[in-house]
Structure 1
Amino acid sequence: MLRPLLLAGVAALVLSACASNRGQLASADYAGMSAAQNHANLSELTARYRANPTDRATVIHYAAALRAAGQPQQAAAALEQAMPNHSGDVAISVAYAKALTAAGRFEQSIEVLRNVIRPDAPDWNALLVLGATLDQTGRHQEARKLYVQAGVIAPGEASIETNLGLSYAMTNDLVAAEKHLRRAVQMRGANTQTRQNLALVVGLQGRFDECRALYAAELPPDQVEANMAYVRALLTQQNRWDMIEKG
């Protein structure tokens, strides 16, 4: 029952959680930045992209900035133009799949990832993005198997535990979701979105004081109050107050 509303609130965070990559393109994640920072980054990257639209790093960063600015279709178009020049490149393909998923083109994203993931040596970040896309199509069991596989390849990555937590939150298993998110916040790569996801899951269990404290450690007071209002609205819409009181 909770999944549709959680998807509306955290779908973007699922992808942003998967954006963590320990390679040279690790900083291609602009989701946690302010609107002003995103605007400045996008202006700079647009100029770089226009000057050299086939450069691998430039197009990946440009597409990530576009996604953060709410322009996934444009991000997908830029990467689609770059794909022929980087045939078989995993990083380009993963970036393209992220843009497709953000644009709601789930089946196309899944196809791109299936084509680039090697059965004998899969890329953990590609597995993570595929899992996130499957989660958003309701295929949670398939997604979780991929997260477990990614965790074997890259143990200790916060993004893997974060996505597992969000996957369980989408099916309303908030206890399991909290367990994975608490693990995630202790791992390398944990960021403010990881901690805010934990706050959301704690709040959805009715532990408002703890939820507020978690948000307050990450956000200014006005945003804390906005998030608390969002948590309460989710609970009201999903008729969960009686469950919380009895629990």
Structure 2
Amino acid sequence: MIAPAASTFRKSHLARTAALLLLLASVAGCASTKRDVATTGSIPKVSTASLQGMNAVELANAERSIGAAYARDPKNRDIGLQYANVLGMTGKNSQALAVMQQVAIAHPADRDVLAAYGKAQAAAGQLEQALTTISRAQTPDHPDWRLYSAEGAVLDQLGRSNEARQKYRMALDAQPNEPSIMSNLGMSYVLSGDLKTAETYMRNAAGQPGADSRVRQNLALVVGLQGRFSEAEDIARKELSQQQADANVTYLRSMLSQQNSWSKLADKDGKAKQSTN
């Protein structure tokens, strides 16, 4: 049975935010399959993983540096992908979409470009267009599991959960035990309010050798939504700097406070602890 606070969460802003985070995590890998760093010009070699670990000041510096390289060579595929990525990470979704439109015009048949273009469309709220673009990037004779997972993420945002989970399972057939896919599948159950099933998938994902911090942060989210905040904070603080961990915990608290549920779940967590002592 879903706790009242978790049920309230299901239709809240947090659910929509979780869906977007799910999408960004799933599509991010598409543009880094072969060339995750820029290879031309004076752009610094910054990988997606490195960007994920940057604080706000570092991201702003990266945005300026990569933006300057993009201004010099706007048709450069790798620079465009990186610039759109960092713009999305700093919340400039409309600008990221504009960049990817230009890159897609210059590279209309590039699968990685189409995937990143679909990501930018989804982040800007153009979900149906994103689904079409990502589908265009897929090739039936040589399917990409990342694109299946990305399709699933968009379908989840459109409320088509059964179709979304079918795509995730297709992705898992192509790439068994891939933690990002299992995490996305778990987030699909979060969006439908089934937190217990979501946690099962999340724990499986987090236990895989290739799991990164984003997968573990999704697990922390699911655990926190069930009222086990001490455990959620412990998970959130692993593998992150103190500043990043504090930011993640603060963000989780702020989202839940919008539904006035943080204090209720924290009280529940405290009482549960007392009953076990």
> TM-score when scaled to structure 2?
0.78
Contact 1:67–1:99 (8 Å) recurs in 2? yes
Shift of 1:154: 1.8
* Distance in 1 separating the partners of 2:141 and 2:116: 21
Gaps of 5+ in 2: 1-6, 37-46, 273-277
* Distance in 2 separating the partners of 1:79 and 1:231: 30
Aligned CA distance change for structure 1 residues 123 and 208 (closer, same or farther; 3 Å): same
The 5-angstrom pairing of residues 74-223 of structure 1 reads: 74-217=95-238, 218=240, 220=242, 222-223=246-247
Task: Supply the AA of the counterpart residue of 1:25.
Answer: R
Identity percentage over the alignment?
A: 35
Name the SS for the 1:87 alignment partner.
coil
Task: Determine if the alignment matches structure 1 residue 229 to structure 2 residue 253.
Answer: yes
Task: Determine if the alignment matches structure 1 residue 17 to structure 2 residue 41.
Answer: no
* Distance in 2 separating the partners of 1:235 and 1:199: 18
Shift of 1:8: 3.7
Shift of 1:11: 3.1
Which range is displaced more, 32-41 or 142-151?
Answer: 32-41
Aligned CA distance change for structure 1 residues 92 and 121 (closer, same or farther; 3 Å): same
* Distance in 1 separating the partners of 2:160 and 2:225: 22
Contact 2:24–2:119 (8 Å) recurs in 1? no
Contact 1:168–1:177 (8 Å) recurs in 2? yes
Name the SS for the 1:20 alignment partner.
helix
Task: Determine if the alignment matches structure 1 residue 69 to structure 2 residue 90.
Answer: yes
Contact 2:121–2:130 (8 Å) recurs in 1? yes
Question: Which structure's CA Rg is the greater one?
Answer: 2
Aligned CA distance change for structure 1 residues 160 and 36 (closer, same or farther; 3 Å): same
* Distance in 1 separating the partners of 2:249 and 2:154: 30
Task: Supply the AA of the counterpart residue of 1:124.
Answer: W
* Distance in 2 separating the partners of 1:224 and 1:110: 29
Contact 1:20–1:159 (8 Å) recurs in 2? no
- Select the residue among 10, 15, 24 that pairs with 1:7: 15
Gaps of 5+ in 1: none
* Distance in 2 separating the partners of 1:190 and 1:81: 33
> TM-score when scaled to structure 1?
0.87
Aligned residue pairs: how many? 244
Task: Supply the AA of the counterpart residue of 1:163.
Answer: N
Which range is displaced more, 141-150 or 205-214?
Answer: 205-214
- Select the residue among 35, 52, 55 that pairs with 2:56: 35
